[in-house]
Amino acid sequence: MSADLPHLALRIDGARLLDRLQALAQIGAYQGPNGEPGCSRLALTDADRAGRDLVVSFMREQGLQIRIDAIGNVLAIRPDHRGRVEQPVLAGSHIDTVRTGGRYDGNLGVLAGLSAIEAVARAGIATRRPLAVAFFTNEEGARFSPDMLGSLVYAGGLPLDEAYGIRGIDGATVGDELRRIGYAGSAACPGPVPAAYVELHIEQGPVLEAAGLRIGAVTGVQGISWQEITITGQSNHAGTTPMALRHDAGYAAARVATFVRELACELGPPQVGTVGQITLFPGLVNVIPATAKLTVDLRHTDEQSLQQAEARLREFAARLAQQEGVQITSRSLARFAPVAFDPQMIALIESTAQRLGASTQRMPSGAGHDAQMMARLCPAGMIFTPSQRGISHNPAECTAPDDLILGANILLQVMLTLAQSEALLPSP
Ligand code: GLV
Ligand code: MN
Ligand code: MN
């Protein structure tokens, strides 16, 4: 994708972006163990509502047209030179966080999108295509599975009534919680197809920092497999039951956790595997656990390899169930195949970053993102900025202010190029 950049000198208001990031991070703010400035805004909680209200107030301040859809995605549009709002060049991300989140995951892409549109408006540029920015509901999946729920429903990958019925970790449903916080909007799902979708995000890994580079042009997102495994054994007295006669669900859970780790190491990079949660019942010092529930997160950039890892885990669980005299069942929480982004979008992001003087690298994303759902609808791409020490989903998550601003300026130029170019996208 070759592209003219007629407004190459245009910049976002960096101080304003940092102020808004700071203001949003105050909602759900908490301190990590060493005083790190974390952020905790699980999807569709009161904190999420307050965060949404703040970002919507920013959208209103900028005079954008706001559309809230039935799954709670919020889209703000600046019409094109003829006043049309259809087929915008859309920036977006999410503002929900994991319970122990940081300040930038998701929030950066949304607030930078707003900054980009603001810069274009301030310069008085009438664009050939509308510009828009969105935040999508429940990207994290930390309260409701699957992750990327809002963008999945937007893209038509899950019917709305099924999404409404999803029960979260606290027993509440998506539909009830959306209505409770006042974000079950009236715009239809699936949503209208944008001309293109661009997401700026922190890398959330160590690659850019280790290479001394400032921008990643993201080539795609690896496949994700989440499952909940339930192990049913028999509770009994911890002092009187001989080891050979136990049906210990806790022990079996520990074996699964160990297997996931060993499997990922044996298969080698880019295979990763995580057991992020284990709950034992009844959870008492002197009772052999009757049941265990654990989550398994497996990811790989290659679909066949991911399927192989899933099969190995299934075989292991079957053997373990027999050996230990326990029952093991599994329920899928999320399953998404790897996604490759549009080659022209990758090239545009890379060349734009280079024209702004940034050192770049093409790289896959280890984390899931709304862009992988939007890629089902339109050309989609992502811009990564470095994460200090590669830390994310952690209150210590940090990206240097200069990198945040550089990423936002690249987003601005990419959006503007897509909105103005006759060559890159079909005529509006
Ligand atoms: C979601 O953001 C994930 O990658 O876990
Ligand atoms: Mn994110
Ligand atoms: Mn995240």
CATH assignment at residue 293:
3.30.70.360
Query: What's the gap in Å between 253 CA and the centre of ligand 2?
Result: 29
* Mean pLDDT estimate for the chain: 97
pLDDT of residue 1: 46
Q: How confident is the model at residue 421 (pLDDT cuts 50, 70, 90)?
A: confident
State whether 128 and 49 are in the same domain: yes
Q: How far apart are CA 339 and CA 382, in angstroms?
A: 12
C-alpha of residue 198 to centroid of ligand 1, in Å: 18
- 211 and 73 share one domain: yes
282 found inside a domain: yes
276 CA → ligand 3 middle, Å? 14
Q: Report pLDDT for 377.
A: 98
Which token pair is 341? Answer: 């982004």
* Distinct helix (H) and strand (E) counts, the chain: 12, 15
Share of the chain above pLDDT 70, in %: 98
What number does the ligand 1 atom closest to the CA of 106 have?
A: 2
Query: Which of 224, 274, 370, 394 is the best mutation target for the ligand 1 pocket, counting ligand atoms within 8 Å of the beta carbon and taking the most?
Result: 224
Type and span of the H or E element at 250: helix 249-267
For residues 318 and 188, state if they share a domain.
no
Dist. CA 293–CA 389, nearest whole Å: 32
pLDDT score of 5: 63
Do 297 and 278 lie in a common domain? yes
Closest-lying ligand 1 atom to the alpha carbon of residue 366: 4
Render 388-420 in DSSP notation, one character per residue: GGG--SSTT----HHHHHHHHHHHHHHHHHHHH
Residues 170 and 73 in one domain: yes
Q: Say how far apart CA 39 and CA 56 lie, in whole Å.
A: 19
Question: Does residue 425 lie in a domain region?
Answer: no
DSSP state of 167: B
pLDDT of residue 3: 53
Q: Which two tokens stand for residue 58?
A: 């920013």
- Among residues 306, 336, 366, the one where a domain terminates is 336
Closest ligand 1 atom number to CA of residue 297: 5
Residues 6+ apart with CB under 8 A from 401: 14, 18
- 350 lies in the same domain as 215: yes
Residues 46 and 184 in one domain: yes
pLDDT at 422: 80
CATH number at residue 10: 3.40.630.10
Q: How many angstroms is it from 90 CA to the middle of ligand 1? A: 21
pLDDT of 2 over the 50 cut? no
- Ligand 1 centroid – CA 142 distance (Å): 9
Instruction: Write the pLDDT tens digit of every residue in 116-147.
Output: 999 999 999 999 999 999 999 999 999 999 99
- CA 404 – CA 13 distance, rounded (Å): 12
Cα–Cα dist 386/325, whole Å: 48
* Residue 389 and residue 325 share a domain: no
- Res. 352 pLDDT band, cuts 50 70 90: very high
Q: In sequence order, what are the beta bridge partners of 197?
A: 90, 380
Over residues 212-251, the pLDDT tens digits come to 999 999 999 999 999 999 999 999 999 999 999 999 999 9
Q: Is residue 426 part of a domain?
A: no
Q: Which of 97, 145, 147, 199 to mutate to test the pocket of ligand 1 (most atoms within 8 A of CB)?
A: 147
Q: Read off the pLDDT of residues 72-108 as tens digits, 9 standing for 90 and up.
A: 999 999 999 999 999 999 999 999 999 999 999 999 9
Integer Rg of the chain from CA: 23
Residues 240 and 186 placed together within one structural domain of the fold: no
Residue 149 inside a domain? The answer is: yes
Cα within 13 Å of Cα(262), Cβ side = 9
**Is 186 inside a domain boundary?**
yes
Q: Which of 336, 357, 391 is the last residue of a domain?
A: 336
Tell me the CA–centroid distance for residue 148 and ligand 1, in Å: 8
Quick: pLDDT tens for 394-407: 999 999 999 999 99
For residues 26 and 138, state if they share a domain. Answer: yes
Pair 139, 83 in one domain: yes
Range of the domain at 72: 6-222+339-420
Q: How many domains does the chain have?
A: 2
Atom of ligand 1 nearest to the CA of 367: 4
How many angstroms is it from 97 CA to the middle of ligand 3? 6
pLDDT at 4: 57
pLDDT at residue 325 above 60? yes
For 126, the 3-state DSSP assignment is coil
What tokens does 352 get?
Answer: 């734009």
Those residues with Cβ within 8 angstroms of residue 252's Cβ, 6 or more apart along the chain or in another chain: 231, 233, 292, 320, 321, 324, 326, 328
- Ligand 1: residue of 140, 204, 392, 394 to mutate (most ligand atoms within 8 A of CB) is 140
Atom of ligand 1 nearest to the CA of 105: 2
**DSSP assignment of 35-69:** S-EEE---TTSHHHHHHHHHHHHHHHHTT-EEEEB
Ligand 1 pocket: which residues have CB below 6 Å?
139-141, 147, 367-368
Examine the domain organization and report whether 32 and 105 are in the same domain: yes
Indicate the pTM of the whole model.
Answer: 0.95
Residue 142 CB neighbours (<10 A): 22
Specify the long-range contacts of residues 304-310, CB closer than 8 Å, at least 24 apart: 305/267, 305/271, 306/223, 306/225, 306/337, 306/338, 308/267, 309/225, 309/263, 309/264, 309/267, 309/271, 309/273, 310/225
Whether 105 maps to a domain, the answer reads yes
Q: Which of 292, 314, 336 finishes a domain?
A: 336
